[in-house]
Amino acid sequence: MKLLLPLLFLLFPFAVVLGQKSILDEYIEMGFQQNIVLQQKSISAEKALLSLQSAQSLYQPTLAFQGGYQTGEGGRSISFPVGDMLNPVYATLNQLTKSSAFPQIKNVETNFFPRNFYDVKLTSVMPIYNRDISINKEIQSQTLGIQNADIQVYKRELVKNIKTAYLNYLMAHKAIGIYQNGLLLAQEGKKINEKLLANGKGLPAYILRSENEIVQLGAQLSEAEKQAESAKMYFNFLLNRELLSEIKTNYNEQEALDILKKTLVAEVDQREELSMLKQAISLQQSVVKMNEGFYLPKLNGYLNLGSQSSNWDLNQKSTYYLLGMQLDIPIFSGKRNLNKIKQSAMDVDMAKKSLDLTSKQVNLALQIAQKNLTQTWVAFRASQKQIDVANTYQKLIDKGYKEGVNTYIETLDARSQWTNAHLALNINQFKILIAAAQVEREAATYPLKND
């Protein structure tokens, strides 16, 4: 089913809509090629494809070479009194013919065990009618479809995770620069206080306060560097690279925001999760169909070409062929087949309910992600206004402090507002892009290649 949404801000913050690949798109392609979980899922899909090919091959005849050799003595035996039966007749014939043309023979005793007996043959079996083969092919085809959809689902999740990890890294990276600038301002403020004190206009307490501000900003800078390093390691983990590999930062977030403002969508494509559940329903229905056909006969044909004899004799009498058909019709199995039908019908019902539930969850997730994206825009616009005020306020207070009009406390407050305003702007602009990545994930709109 297709999910219809009202017009919502979408999502191509990475210049996809412009037909150009950003550095982030290149990293996503790298993730598709190198991510370990995706490689595992690709192997599972290849196995499903092989299972489908195996199911298709069941229509073809099988050919095998079989050979056996047996020899033995003792055990049960059977006696043939041919001598007792024929010797009197032969004796009479010899008297009548006055010759010895009919010799006396002995009774025969034969063991059941064969002696030096061999049997070699080529045997071929071919299904003539077996409905289970065609249904099994359907099931394997549906399983392959589920595996491919699962790969697409993971790719979409991987896209969101890579984008989020990359944006978090950029956010921490930009925060380092903000703290460094704040630290420079604090160090400059300390120098001003030292000059004022030397000229008899300042106080020693102001220098101590400046040093405390520098220590605090240094600690915040160190924490930002740790966050950036953690974000770098997680991002590289997703790409299956060395954890401390360098990450390119030539990403234009302002351009991404401008594209995001202009891009709207009225309709959302079908998510692969729903496609997977639909195929799962079809698979369960195929299982029901297979179980319901338990009473249908199975007919196979077979042909054997071989040779069998004793003492490894091979001649026209030892060679043979055997052609036939085998019919299998089930009659009674203690209602096991009926119970299987009921169980598989319940599986179909469960799969339908899962589809209904997932569809509602998808709609809910989309609406929540959309509202979150809208809220991040509101916070970003507010932070844009705050940054202008903070910049102006900081310049005025700093100038006034140098002229002796404003107090040092006001200077600290102005610098604090400046730092916090820049941090808020940095965080909020990346929050928009992260929220957009989440909406993109829920709407399943990132363009994926059909492998």
Whose tokens are 């469960």? That residue is 350
Which of 29-43, 177-191, 192-206 is most confident?
29-43
The arithmetic mean of pLDDT across residues 278-295, rounded, is: 89
What is the pLDDT, as a whole number, of residue 263? 59
Provide DSSP, 372-385.
Answer: HHHHHHHHHHHHHH
Whole-number Å distance between alpha carbons of 148 and 141: 11
* Mean pLDDT value across residues 105-118: 81
What value does the mean pLDDT take over residues 212-232? 88
Average confidence (pLDDT) over 160-167:
92
Question: Could you tell me if 347 and 284 are in contact, meaning their C-beta atoms sit under 8 angstroms apart?
Answer: yes
Portion of the chain with pLDDT greater than 70, in percent:
91
Give me the residue spans of the domains in the chain: 3-66+125-443, 78-113
What are the residues whose beta carbons fall under 8 Å from the beta carbon of 379, sequence distance 6 or more?
A: 428, 431
Report the pLDDT value the prediction gives residue 241, as an integer from 0 to 100.
92
What is the distance between the alpha carbons of residues 299 and 96, in angstroms, rounded to a whole number? 62
Higher pLDDT, 229 or 74: 229
pLDDT band at 15 (very low <50, low <70, confident <90, very high): very low
pLDDT of residue 199: 74
The separation between CA 12 and the C-alpha centre of its own chain, rounded to angstroms, equals 24
> Is the Cβ–Cβ distance between 205 and 250 less than 8 Å?
no
Q: How far apart are CA 163 and CA 171, in angstroms?
A: 12
User: Are the C-beta atoms of 257 and 13 separated by less than 8 Å?
Assistant: yes
Mean pLDDT of the chain, nearest integer: 83
Residue 404 backbone class (left: φ over 0; alpha: ψ -120 to 50; beta: rest): left
Could you give the CA distance from residue 322 to residue 299 in angstroms, rounded to a whole number?
17
Sign of CA dihedral 108, 113, 117, 119: positive
- Residue of 178, 175, 166 lying closest to 250 (CA atoms): 166
What CATH number was assigned to the domain covering residues 3-66+125-443?
1.20.1600.10
Q: Looking at residue 111, what is its pLDDT? A: 72
pLDDT tens digit sequence for 423-451: 888 888 888 899 888 888 888 888 887 65
